[in-house]
Each structure stands twice: as structure tokens, then as C-alpha cells.
Structure 1
Amino acid sequence: MRQYLGKVTKHDVENAFGVTILPAGILLREEHLVLLEKHRIDSLFVIDADQSAAGTPADQTREAVGKLKERSRAFYDAFKETGQIPLKELEAEIVPAVQNIARTPGMFKLFEAVKAQGDYTYEHNIGVGVISTMIGKWLQFSEDELAELTMAATLHDIGKVKIPEHILNKPGKLTNEEFELVKKHTIYGYEILKKTEGVSYRAALVALQHHEREDGSGYPLGLTADKIDAFSKIVAVADIFHAMSSDRPHQKALPFYEVVRQLRECFFGQLDPAIVHALLDNLTAKLVGQQVLLTDQRVGEIVYINPHDGEAPLIKVGEEFVDLSSKRQIQIQRIIGF
């Protein structure tokens, strides 16, 4: 199966029972090969990625995100070299590009595109910028507020340039001393942005506060809800959602149901409930019609959302309907394309 890695499916891929396992046009990665092997599918029609339908919205989004990730890397490299934030590039190229990507229809394809899958440090900044901007739109921010939020979210981890890369990219658990050092990126970021002319003070606050929690359990200052800036609260939610959904040096992306569960648990004290609601309600509203991989490795389509239990929808698997609210042993492993 390894020969298919990086190729694009030409047609829908069905298992022996006629159930679609993967849709046409999907870029094959490791998890797709595992899924194909579990369904005993050893051959399929594929095309090279550069021959696929490059004009489709999903492909355009992936291309735009890829270019933006490269800009992000160049931006941070320039900052490391000069000690000065390339503000003109940030305002003229990066912030408008993040906002354009955040307007992309097809939420789950967009989330798939912004997930970190390789160079986490640079990809994470873009992902958090896009997700924060989406949340700001759902909260009906003005255009000026959105521009300020996008910039603050994209710069939220700027302080990590002062943390040694071998610690940021360490595959195992950090020691207490290493974690204490990583936590200082919030203070470093605040100091960098506070003295950068042309960057708002709120962006500096976001760099300082995005790991603070409503109940005072966060860092670096242990602030409580009334002392945390609203932008910082939004970036905190986007930061956690993107991190849990992405492959990180020390941990693989969590299953969809686990991401949702942990976010809901954070309602109770840690994150602003209105912001978490905005994210999860919009996720839930877009679930109908999505193909999903279940934890029992079957693939189905969400056909109905239980208004009293949005995380346990009704799913059509072949000719069978599976109600996750009554079959708690089965959950959504992942949205196909997310």
C-alpha cells in the first residue's frame, strides 16, 4: 500500500459491502492506508497530487494554507535574524491571507487544511489565527476588531522564538525544568510585542494571557476571568482546539470525540463558556452530511443531530442507522477530511 502514499483517490473507494470508505479526491496519508488495510482493500485508482482537480475549493484552500505556512516560517526566520518583527509583511500579506482562508466554505475541509502535520511551531500560529478569526466572525466582531484579533492570534506564540528548538520539538514528556522554561514564552512574547511600534497592546496581552484560565489555574500570572482580555479568551480556545486536533512532537492528534469532550469539560471553570459554545455549536451545525470514521472502523454519514446530545448523532452506515446516543460504545473517531 505504500505506493499510494501522497496520491489522490480518483474515485470513491468502497469496501466489500459497498460502503464508501474514502471519497474521491482525497490525498492519501498514513491513516488512510491503515483504514484501507483494515477493510482488506489492496488496490485502487489514484492519480498524482499535481494532476488532481487543482481548481476545486478544497485544493485551493490547501494550496493557500501551504503558501501561508511558508510565509509564517519566513516571517519567524526574519524575526530571529533581525530581532525586528516584519510588520509590513504581517499587515500586507499574512493577516489578509489568514482572513481570506477563514472565509472558506466547508469548515471541516478548512480545519483539515490548517491542522499541523509536520512543523508544528509554524503551522500552529496559522491554525490558531484562522480559527480565532472564525470565532470572532461567529461572535459578530466588527471588521476592525477582526483584523486586530487575527494579528494578535497569529502572533500569540511569538515568544517561542526565545525557547530552544530542541525543547519545543522534544518528542517525549518535558521535564519540570523544561516546562517552566516553555511557560516563559508568554512573558517573552509580551515583552517583544509591547515594544514593537505598530502592534496593538491587546496583541501583547494575548501573547501574555493565552494560557490563563477562567478559574485562575493558568499561567504565567494565574489570572481569573475578570482580568483576562476577551481576545486572549478566544485565542485560548482556538489554541487548545488546534493543538488537540494536530500532530504535536509529543502527542498525536486526538480523536474527534475526544477533542469535543475535552472542550466541553473546559466549560466548567477553565475556558469562557460563550466562546466554547460558539465553536462547538458551529461545528455541530455543519455535521449533517459529513462522512465519519467510527471507532469500530466503519464509515458512515451523519444524517441527524440530536438536539439534546449533539455529540451523539444518528449515522447511516450502508443500509443501517446507528444512533450513537443509544450505542455509547461507538463514537466518532474522525470526520473524513478533518
Structure 2
Amino acid sequence: MRQYLGKRLRNDVVNAFGVTVLPARTVLLEEHLIVLENHKIDSISVILDVVVEEKEQKSTTPRGLVNQVVTQAKLLYDTIHESGTVPVNELQEQVIPAVQQVANHPNIFELFEAVKAQDDYTYQHNIGVGVISTLIGKWLELSDEDLTALTFAGTLHDVGKLKIPSEVLNKPGKLTEEEFDLVKKHAIYGYEILKNTEGISYRTALVALQHHEREDGGGYPLGLMSDKIDLFSKIVAIADIFHAMSSKRPYHDALPFYQVVRQMKEGYFGKLDPHIVSVFLENIMTKMVGQKVVLTDDRIGEIVFINPHEEEAPLIKVDEQFIDLSSHRTVQIKQIIGL
């Protein structure tokens, strides 16, 4: 039945006793196939209930998919804000499969553009970090079970911000010391919300607590050193920073691509896990040749060669001209726009 992975159910799937075991529109993951097998639902009945929505998927852009899941997530976060409880089933059935579907998009640069926060930063950031964390987890070759757990943790990493006043979170200027101290409490608030939620793993709560910790002990809220920080927390920290720098926020515009990469590289030295950063950047750089880019002087070109000593400054073809960005320091890559 593995051929049905990633397909969406048209109707509810019921067992021999008439009990719904999988609701309609569920995107089938590994754990769903196990459920079907446990209920002895054979391939014939699955074939009748599964529809490959090829037309729908082809006509839906990555940005459209992201907007859909952000809308779903906003409704669920509003529920958390009002009730103080996390709607675990709705997250499992609606949001997490959709985040994993977005992370499977074949062109990572289209994906990065799709998840950039533009308007409602708080909700778009949660989904963006969930998607990028999932992508990193795939590149680290995590098991399917760990990957789903990581998606969950990345998507819920900032849930504690629901307890921070919106006027502080969305303040256009620099935060005061008191305001910043208040914002930093979101890590503890998130941990408290998640650790007391049935159906949420302790590891998910730990990521909410630790995603601002740093390898050298200079993070918050506990100032943990590298060996005390969970692997998932390290992954989400990198996804969090990459997405934040790449997005427009209330107090600054998105950074150009070359600055994001350089600052991520600087994270090698004490702040971020060097192995995870290396895997992340290596997978980005190896996919850059052939991509269309916007330069900082607004010309559009195509990447034709990667400089192994300075990957963020490749050789670019603009019309019939070749520009070596490692030599021409007045121009750099502002944005990768994909094929």
C-alpha cells in the first residue's frame, strides 16, 4: 500500500464495524498505512477511497498551499488562545500533513519563497519554521517517525507567543529591555502549554523551551550548552533563524540571500550546531546551478557555476555577460527566484 503515500482520501475510511478510522481529506502518511493494516482494510477498499488529486496539485502553487495551511493554523491557534488547550487531533489531521506536503516540493527555492512571511508574521512564521525544519530533517535522514515529530515541534515552537501582548510582538521599532525580557518568556510559556497537553510528546515541549538556546551557552531561557540541547531544538533553531532573516518583519525587511547565507555561516562559530548548518547550506548550494536570481542592482541572471570557496558568490550569466560575484563586490544575489 505504499503507493498511496502522499495521496489524499476522498471519503472517510471505515472499518468492519462502521467506525471511521481515517477522515476524508487525510493525506496518507506512514502511520496512516499502519492504521489501515491494523484494521485489516485491504487494498481494494483503499483504492475505492483514495483519489490522486493531480489536477488540484498541479494547479496549486507552493504559495497557495502555504496560504491554505496558514489559514488552518490561524484558526487552531485562535482556539489555543481562547481555551488554553491545544487541538491535537486537528493539528494531526489538517496542519501537519499539509506542512509535510509543502516540504516535499521539488524546488526548494520556490519553497523558500512560498514560506517567507509577508503579512501576518506570527502565523506564517510558525508554518515556515515547520516546513524548513522538516526539510532539514529529511536532509539529516531522520526516520519517518522522527520526521513527523520534528514537523510537529517546528510548527508549535512559538506557541508560547500567544501569551505575549500583540502590541509588543508587532511593535515596529526596537523593543525596550523590559519588552524583550517579556518576549523571551514565550519559550517558558510554550513549554508549559505543551508539556501539560495530552497527545503532545515531551520532546515537542522541549523544543518550545530550547529553540533559542545556543551552542556556546549564550541563548535563553536557561543558557544551556550544546550537550544539553535536544537535536530537534538545534534543528528548529536553525530553521527559525533562516526564516526570520528571510522574511519581512514589523521592524525590518527581509535580508538579501547573500547576507542570510553569510550570517548562517557565521553561526558555525559557537551559536549554531555546525554539522546541521553545514548540511543545510550544502543542500541549498548544490541545487543553485541553473536557478534564476535577482541581483542587488535588480538585474536578473542565472547561476552557472558555484565558487567552492564562497558559495554565496557564484558565477552569474546576465544576458550574454558573465559576472563573477566573488570578484565584483558591488553586486550580490538579492533573491533566488527559481527556474
Residue of structure 1 equivalent to 2:234 = 233
Secondary structure at 1:336 match in 2: strand
Q: Distance in 1 between matches of 2:168 and 2:194?
A: 23
Are positions 1:279 and 2:298 aligned together?
no
Shift of 1:308: 2.4
Residue of structure 2 equivalent to 1:74 = 75
Residue of structure 2 equivalent to 1:168 = 169
Shift of 1:129: 0.1
> Aligned residues: percent identity?
64
Question: 1:58, 1:109 within 8 Å by CA — same for their partners in 2?
Answer: no
Q: Give the structure-1-normalised TM-score.
A: 0.82
In structure 1, give the amino acid aligned to 2:227. D
Shift of 1:174: 0.5
Q: Distance in 1 between matches of 2:234 and 2:322?
A: 39
Deviations 1:194-213 (A, max 9, x none): 11111000101100000000
Q: Which has the higher contact order (CA 8 A, sep 6+)?
A: 1
Secondary structure at 2:301 match in 1: strand
Q: Distance in 2 between matches of 1:89 and 1:249?
A: 30
Given the superposition, is the C-alpha separation of residues 58 and 157 from structure 1 closer, same or farther in structure 2, using an over 3 Å criterion?
farther
Residue of structure 2 equivalent to 1:149 = 150
Residue of structure 2 equivalent to 1:109 = 110
In structure 1, give the amino acid aligned to 2:253. K
Q: Distance in 2 between matches of 1:161 and 1:98?
A: 21
Deviations 1:71-92 (A, max 9, x none): 1100100111111100100111
Listed as ranges, the matches of 1:191-202 within 5 Å are 191-202=192-203
Question: 2:217, 2:224 within 8 Å by CA — same for their partners in 1?
Answer: yes
Unaligned runs of 5+ in 2: 1-54
Q: Distance in 2 between matches of 1:305 and 1:289?
A: 10
Deviations 1:122-143 (A, max 9, x none): 0000000000000000000000
Are positions 1:288 and 2:289 aligned together?
yes
Q: Which moved more, 1:134-143 or 1:79-88?
A: 79-88
Shift of 1:325: 1.7
Q: Distance in 2 between matches of 1:56 and 1:132?
A: 23
Secondary structure at 1:113 match in 2: helix
Given the superposition, is the C-alpha separation of residues 268 and 122 from structure 1 closer, same or farther in structure 2, using an over 3 Å criterion?
same
Q: Distance in 2 between matches of 1:331 and 1:66?
A: 30
Q: Which moved more, 1:131-140 or 1:300-309?
A: 300-309
Residue of structure 1 equivalent to 2:221 = 220
Deviations 1:239-286 (A, max 9, x none): 000000001111110011110011000100000011111111111111
RMSD of aligned residue pairs (Cα, Å): 1.5
Q: Give the structure-2-normalised TM-score.
A: 0.82
Residue of structure 1 equivalent to 2:24 = none
Q: Distance in 2 between matches of 1:93 and 1:85?
A: 14
